[in-house]
Amino acid sequence: MSEKWIADRMHRIDASGIRKVFDLAANMQVPINLSIGQPHFDTPQPIKDALCKAVEEGKNAYSPSQGIPPLLAKIQSHVDDLYGHGDRQAFVSSGTSGALMLALSTLINPGDEVIVFDPFFVMYKHLTAMAGGKVVLIDTYPNFRIDVDRVRDAITDRTKVIICNSPSNPTGYVANADELRGLAELAAERDIALISDEIYKSFCYDEEFVSPARWNDQTIVVDGFSKSHSMTGLRLGYVHGPEHVIQQMIKLQQFTFVCAPHPVQWAGLAAWDVDVSDRVGEYRKKRDFMISELQNDFEIAGAGGAFYLFMKTPWGTGTEFVAEAIRNNLLIIPGNVFSSKDTHIRISYAAEETTLQQGVDVLKAIAKAGPN
């Protein structure tokens, strides 16, 4: 195979951060795994039953690109009640990652700039590169707050999109109403598309979730069932936003994903009525346990939502600390996978209590021992 076959865009997508971690972890037999970015609980039974029923009933062909009418109606009614925007339209996507790809591909021309808050969900950088855009990072260290003045200063005549993620992966930070209102109003003022990634909105522990769509009716909202209902492998998301953008995204979905998996959409219809508040309460307790155990040895900010702690290492770089953790059978992720800096580590507390206790014991021991 000739190297010249590979498109230039692929050389702008760097998977080396995650690859290095798993190369280091290749020989781990039964690791203490605090790296997983998905819920540790199984998909609720009513959702699995609805999926099996849909398959058995032959709902296995293509669905309409925008989604099956019952699920679409459910989502649209919810969105209309929540926002009352006359121009806000919803559709069903193949996961939130699929939705983000569709949104960025619809909005970005080569050379356009996309403002992203650092630390960031790793996919934003690579999907922007694939669309031909350039990521402009806004540093949010040490507290991960959104500073609207920094955003304003970063805007140029090439700025096309701002991506907001609250609650955040990897920091767990939940932006407050003042931050999100300021961001929403700035985007509207400067006629910049605002994408709000709300996949972790169910997991807010200290205050209510707020969407910037409250203050900007052109906000494109990406959401889904993966995290709240432990459906990560089923690939079911949804999007809502201004109709002229959504129609272009549906058109692109028709010629890429075609549709979200048809039987899974019927599972999503069941999921809409499944109460997951008990899981959210369980994760709040896990968050509280992890912070109480680790706050004396690590600097911890954010952590108001999702199921991650993004902690400053007490010594060395994030990469060096992770290498030592792996030598001690603990699998975690260095912060530079999600950031331009290598000062932090990300841990997931979506795990059983025994695993969390084992992880805490290793993390505290490494912190106290210092570098080898």
The domain made up of 61-271 has a fold known as Aspartate Aminotransferase; domain 2 (3.40.640)
Task: Judge whether 43 and 230 are in contact, CB under 8 Å.
Answer: yes
Q: How many percent of the chain have pLDDT more than 70?
A: 97
Q: Break the chain down into helix, strand, coil percent, rounded to 5.
A: 45, 15, 40
Hey, how many other C-beta atoms are within 10 angstroms of the C-beta on 156? 9
In our burial notation (b when 16+ CB lie closer than 10 A, e otherwise), range 222-235 reads bbbbbbbbbbbebb
pLDDT-derived band at 16, boundaries 50, 70, 90: low
| pLDDT above 60 for 1 | no
Higher pLDDT, 28 or 220: 220
| pLDDT above 90 for 157 | yes
Give 224's strand partners.
Answer: 237
> Into which CATH architecture does domain 3-43+276-369 fall?
Alpha-Beta Complex (3.90)
**Global confidence as pTM:** 0.95
Q: Where are the domains of the chain?
A: 3-43+276-369, 61-271
Higher pLDDT, 140 or 36: 140
**pLDDT tens digits, one per residue of 293-331:** 999 999 999 999 999 999 999 999 999 999 999 999 999
- Bin 192: left if φ > 0, else alpha if -120 < ψ < 50, else beta: beta
Weakest mean pLDDT among 11-20, 141-150, 305-314, 350-359: 11-20
Hey, how many other C-beta atoms are within 10 angstroms of the C-beta on 15? 10
pLDDT-derived band at 71, boundaries 50, 70, 90: very high
pLDDT-derived band at 19, boundaries 50, 70, 90: low
**pLDDT tens digits, one per residue of 168-210:** 999 999 999 999 999 999 999 999 999 999 999 999 999 899 9
Higher pLDDT, 21 or 227: 227
- In this prediction, residue 75 carries a pLDDT of 98
Task: Judge whether 118 and 137 are in contact, CB under 8 Å.
Answer: yes
